[in-house]
Structure 1
């Protein structure tokens, strides 16, 4: 199959804008890693008019996909974890072309996983966990058990990914296989939710109690990034927080996360007078001793 695809990737490799070419081949009969394709070509480009450009090919009874991705888009996927397959592709794919060791250095960077990058990813994942957990708890209290179940499953997925980050690794598509080895207590919770003979009420009750404990024990590390960013200024309004370059990555989860940290006493409210005697601007601040050392 490589010989058939060679003219395609060699053409891309000859272009000065191409940083690397990775070939990923299907490992199982039905492979989620390759989206059911027999082969995937990942073309990494310095820049392009489109951040992602895809082509499909067919030959004999085989099919292949080619994805051309800019370095900026790749970095975004790796930071936000919105395309987990790309981590597998980089780790397990075959390097067919590598300009100035770009792919080799990228793999080394992912393996080493610098603490700063891990800290940002943990913050983003923790914020997602908080939103799902809090929304699920509201559904549970309203006795909307199926909606609560959906949210607690999602929160456990975020907890699982967070645990993988804590262990200095990147979540793969088969994240529960990783968690089963790294954090068996989290895996056990997931298993209990799915296979327990208890009523859905009892299962959810147990999961929310256990999740509360696990969230509490991870708040220090999960909030480290946002608190360090907020220490850069004396106080912030909410729009400034949304526009701060690093905090933009928290997206729709930012405000829920901030309120969670306000309730936990890590972020403090500062009231600033408006033109009205009865209404105040709500500013947010972090005391110096609220930020843990890196």
Structure 2
């Protein structure tokens, strides 16, 4: 009986080794050019099917591994748990990759034009960087689409974004960065609910000496600009920020230079005293003005691409 168990164990381990060896070879040898050629020759449906066969094999491997774990444990051999979160990640990756394949080509001859904020913000052709690169880009694109209100908030990418945003994580800040510095007409902006949290995360703000952070409202982030209202110690001030790579330094009023977590430099201006003139007609039928001091943000500096 023991001899039979050893034979079964050897056969199972051999099968696993074959799967283990074949999967990285597949991932390493599958290049972007080969996928594009396959899509041209066989159509995206066939290529999608082939890629999902690989994912099914990977999932099958994990299931077999779990059985082997149980079998080896019965022989008194300590093993780690296989599968679980890894299987869920594979399923998520498969769904994301399906979306990437679906959008990689149009029904006609060439690649589709960018049609969503995510595609415009997250560059990179299909499968550049391998399968991991394709899945990562698809998740980022999904997150950008949700953050800008282009799609509903139920996507996997948005779930990843919201989870990362709570911790000020790299994934969320990378998504915010791409929107903040993106082309406004193509990518849009983050505004409304959640824009204040996005700003705090992107600027790396942390409470200091038990002092609460300012409250931010009316926020909009996108196109190289960030605008909003900052409230602290009972007083509110409007402000505007301009990405230094996209805008010249402000020529009117005072400004501060600040950095976001991605290392970008921004010019920040608060609303400043300005004279407001309200016209009225005096007793002689002439136009006169009521003058008052108001708080206004200085005019936006010139964009570098328009000079």
TM-score range normalised by the length of the shorter chain:
under 0.3
**Structure in which a larger fraction of residues adopt helix:** 1
Structure scoring higher RCO (CA < 8 A, sep ≥ 6) equals: 1
Higher gyration radius (CA): 2
Q: TM-score, normalised by structure 1?
A: 0.27
Q: TM-score, normalised by structure 2?
A: 0.26
